[in-house]
Amino acid sequence: MAHGCTVCLLKVDRKENSVFCIKCKKWIHQICSGLNEEQISAEKSLHQKNEGSYSCSKCNITSKPTNHSQSDNLILEKLNQLAAEVNEIKQTTSKTSSKFETVIDEVHTLKNVLKKFQIYQMISNSSSLNCPS
Ligand SMILES: [Zn+2]
Ligand SMILES: [Zn+2]
């Protein structure tokens, strides 16, 4: 059976440093894996115990687009800013002001958006699980 690296499509010599991708179930060259030698050997021993968790860049592109996690981080950043703002207002006023309400609303909206993102990521991460309907 011919065996090729999913990332560069070239043959993988088992004497070479390589890592097993749990998604395409192929061995990926170290150079194509984005992992260093330490990570490769850690992943190899996990794979021997059937506990490998590495997935190659090709598999990651289809299952988890990077712009999702980027948006996720942006929202988190914004959320933290707003939380700091809320705390600031809380410290300067003992009563609930209209600005305070607005900021609280914004924080809640962002939290909901973030939840949707996280749910979306969970779904795309577990795409192997079929939803019974
Ligand atoms: Zn390769
Ligand atoms: Zn793969």
Residue 121 has pLDDT above 80, yes or no: no
Ligand sitting nearest the alpha carbon of 56: 2
pLDDT at 97: 67
Ligand sitting nearest the alpha carbon of 10: 1
Tokens of 2: 């011919």
Say how far apart CA 31 and CA 17 lie, in whole Å: 8
pLDDT at 1: 47
Å from CA of 8 to ligand 1 middle: 4
Question: pLDDT digits over 30-62, tens only?
Answer: 999 999 999 999 999 999 999 999 999 999 875
Residue 132 has pLDDT above 70, yes or no: no
How many angstroms separate the most distant Cα atoms in the chain? 73
Surrounding residues of ion ligand 2, Cβ less than 5 A: 6, 21, 23-24, 56, 59
Question: What stretches of 8-125 show up as alpha helix (H) in DSSP?
Answer: 30-33, 37-48, 57-63, 66-92, 98-125
Specify which residues 37 forms β-bridges with.
none
Q: Which of 7-11, 12-16, 98-102 has the highest mean pLDDT?
A: 7-11
Å from CA of 51 to ligand 1 middle: 22
Å from CA of 30 to ligand 1 middle: 7
What is the average pLDDT across 96-119? 75
Residues in the chain: 133
Å from CA of 117 to ligand 2 middle: 24
pTM of the model: 0.46
CB 35 within 8 A of CB 17: no
Q: Which sign does the torsion angle of CA 70, 72, 77, 78 carry?
A: positive
Band of residue 13 on the pLDDT scale cut at 50, 70, 90: confident
Residue 9 has pLDDT above 70, yes or no: yes
CB 28 within 8 A of CB 56: yes
Say how far apart CA 85 and CA 74 lie, in whole Å: 17
Say how far apart CA 4 and CA 10 lie, in whole Å: 5
Indicate the average pLDDT of the chain.
Answer: 80
